[in-house]
Amino acid sequence: MKFAVLQFPGSNCDQDCVHVLRSVFGCPTELLWHKEYSVGDADAVFIPGGFSYGDYLRTGSIARFSPVMGAVKEFADNGGHVFGICNGFQILCEAGMLPGALIRNRSLQFRCEHVYLQTATHDSPFTGQIPEGKNLRIPIAHGEGNYFCDDETLQSLEANNQILFQYVDAEGDLTDHANPNGSLANIAGICNAKRNVAGMMPHPERAAEAALGSTDGRLIFESLIAALKPQSTLAPA
Amino acid sequence: MLSLGGTAFFEGMKAKVIITPKRAVLDPQGKTVQTALEHMGCAGVREVRIGKYIEIEMDGDRETVEAQLSEYADKFLANPNIEDYRLVFED
């Protein structure tokens, strides 16, 4: 199973993603510079966090026009799995591959802290291995993570179970106080209607080893790896 | 200004793109500035909305430039999910 991790000018979580995929999960992983026109033979593409193009104009608004994003869109249109973390989520929204937008945190503060997430649906390649009832403790680090969409879009996200993660407090309650950025419906991550493209603001790659204080992020990588494993076929007679 | 086949061709025509957050979108910057204005004693403030202002100098005839800028504002300069924009040309 091969992964590609995109790298834009200003990406800064690309090496973290590569480290987790290669060293924690032993998966061959390539860094893909934004000027590439193909995702090669990758089975899934990660769009990492950072500040692509200095967050100029709007977060993710310039990166989405990089050559590699044309290849990523084609890959996703053909059913390929794409996962955006933080700036990667912002880029996917700007590219129209996920609905809505990430705007300035309601507090105007850059929030850098651990949060708790509840998994709103296990029916996705990104959440399938997360145990029922297990809330994830994963860090966030963003100034623009306030998820916004119009009412109609929010209704369709809810109706199609496209909300993957929501911010909750340490007790697991979905409260306004637990919402670090003002996101609608405490949304921390969503997927598209086809369920092969997803994005989230928290950083699972920063919670994948005990030395980092939490290994909850591993469950998201494990979910994707399990989903990508070739389906078992009948043994030849 | 040069005249080419009846179409007015401008060199360095100044266009302004004024981008504002949509009414339904929370504007925490605007709210914070509004509160600051009130604290400073500025009376009668109803609402403050903070957006972006982009100045672009372009060569071409007005109609083509306007069509081109609208196209790029729709797909790049503004995000229709969260922002409105208007184009203003300097005479």
Residue A237 lies in a domain: no
Interface residue A150 vs chain B (CB under 8 A): yes
- By C-alpha distance, the chain B residue nearest A101 is B81
Q: What is the mean pLDDT of residues B1-11?
A: 66
State the burial class of residue A1 (Cβ atoms within 10 Å of its Cβ: 0-12, 13-18, 19+): middle
Nearest CB neighbour to A148, from listed B29, B32, B82 = B82
Beta carbons of A148 and B28 less than 8 Å apart: no
What is the arithmetic mean of pLDDT over A58-84? 97
Mean pLDDT, rounded, for A55-62 = 96
Encoding tokens for residue B17?
Answer: 């793109």
Q: Is A184 on the interface with B (CB under 8 A)?
A: no
Given the candidates 3.10.20.30, 1.10.645.10, 3.30.1280.10, 3.90.800.10, the CATH classification of the domain at B6-89 is 3.30.1280.10
Length of chain A: 237
Mean pLDDT, chain A, as a whole number? Answer: 96
Q: Is A19 noted as a catalytic residue in this protein? A: no
pLDDT value at residue B12: 87
In a domain, A190, yes or no: yes
Residue A233 in domain: no
Interface pTM (ipTM) of the complex?
0.85
Number of folded domains that form chain A = 1
Which residue of A lies nearest to B28 if distances are taken between CA atoms? A106
- pTM, 2 dp: 0.93
Q: Is A205 a catalytic residue?
A: yes
Cα B55 from chain centre: 8
Q: Residue A235: inside a domain, yes or no? A: no
A148:B26 CB<8 A: yes
Taking the CA of residue A215 and the nearest CA in chain B, the distance in Å comes to: 34
- Whole-angstrom distance, CA of residue A144 vs CA of residue A105: 5
CB-CB under 8 Å, A108 with B79: no
Position A17 in a domain = yes
Q: How many helices (H) and strands (E) does chain B have?
A: 2, 4
- List the CATH number of the domain containing A110: 3.40.50.880
Residue A35 has pLDDT above 90, yes or no: yes
pLDDT digits (tens, 9 = 90+) for B11-57: 889 999 999 999 999 899 999 999 999 999 999 999 999 999 999 99
Owning domain of residue A200: 3-228
Q: Which two tokens stand for residue A1?
A: 């199973």
A to B CB pairs, distance under 8 Å: 37
- Residue in chain A lying closest to B29 (CA): A108
Closest CA to A73 of A94, A49, A100: A94
**A61 contacts B76? CB cut-off 8 A:** yes
